[in-house]
C-alpha cells in the first residue's frame, strides 16, 4: 500500500481533521506560582497555632528545629510547584500570529492576523 494513500496524522487537529497550531504552554508560570503558594502555605501552617505550633520555639518548647522547618517548607514548595506546573501545562497561549507593522520605524504597532478589535500598548524607555 503506498504511503500517499494513508491519511496524514497530526498531533493537534480540530473537528474537521485539519492541523491546528498550539501556542506556548504555561507550565513554568504555574510551577513558579505553585512554588510560592506551596512554600507560603506550608510556612503558615507550621508557624501558626500558638502553643501547638510545630516550628515556633518561643510558643512551643517541643517545636522542630530551624533546619527541619526549612526542609518542610521547601518540600511544601516543591509539591506546590509540581501541582502548579501540571495545572499550568493545561493552559496554552495563542500561537504567535501577529504581523509587525512599522518595524523599520520602531513604532511597535501590531496588527492581529485574526478578525476583530485588538488593542495593544508597548512602552520603551
47 compared with 3, residue with greater pLDDT: 47
Q: How confident is the model at residue 8 (pLDDT cuts 50, 70, 90)?
A: very low
Copy the grid coordinates of residue 93.
497561549
Rounded mean pLDDT of 22-31?
86
What tens digit of pLDDT does each residue of 33-75 get?
999 999 999 999 999 888 888 998 888 888 899 999 999 999 9
Please tell me the predicted confidence (pLDDT) of residue 102.
47
pTM of the model: 0.58
84 compared with 11, residue with greater pLDDT: 84
DSSP alpha helices (H): ranges in 1-125?
Answer: 27-47, 66-88
96 compared with 123, residue with greater pLDDT: 123
Please tell me the predicted confidence (pLDDT) of residue 10.
41
Q: Is the pLDDT of residue 3 over 60?
A: no
Q: Which residues contact 115 (CB under 8 A, 6 or more apart)?
A: none
What gap in Å lies between CA 62 and CA 65, rounded to an integer? 9
What tens digit of pLDDT does each residue of 83-105 get?
999 999 998 887 655 444 444 44
Please tell me the predicted confidence (pLDDT) of residue 27.
92
β-bridge pairing 98-101 and 109-112: antiparallel
Name residue, grid cell 506551596: 38
Enumerate the domain spans of the chain: 27-94
| DSSP 8-state symbol, 52 | G
CA angle 88, 42, 91 (to 5 degrees): 5
Positive/negative CA dihedral, 53, 57, 61, 64? positive
Amino acid at each position: 500500500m503506498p504511503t500517499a494513500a494513508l491519511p496524514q496524522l497530526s498531533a493537534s487537529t480540530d473537528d474537521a481533521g485539519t492541523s491546528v497550531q498550539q501556542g506556548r504552554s504555561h507550565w513554568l508560570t504555574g510551577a513558579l506560582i505553585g512554588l510560592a503558594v506551596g512554600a507560603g502555605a506550608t510556612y503558615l501552617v507550621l508557624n501558626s497555632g500558638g502553643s501547638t505550633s510545630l516550628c515556633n520555639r518561643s510558643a512551643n518548647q517541643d517545636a522542630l528545629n530551624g533546619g527541619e522547618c526549612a526542609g518542610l517548607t521547601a518540600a511544601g514548595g516543591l509539591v506546590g510547584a509540581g501541582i502548579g506546573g501540571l495545572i499550568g501545562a493545561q493552559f496554552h497561549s495563542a500561537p504567535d500570529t501577529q504581523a509587525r507593522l512599522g518595524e523599520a520605524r520602531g513604532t511597535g504597532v501590531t496588527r492581529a492576523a485574526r478578525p476583530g478589535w485588538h488593542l495593544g500598548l508597548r512602552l520603551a524607555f
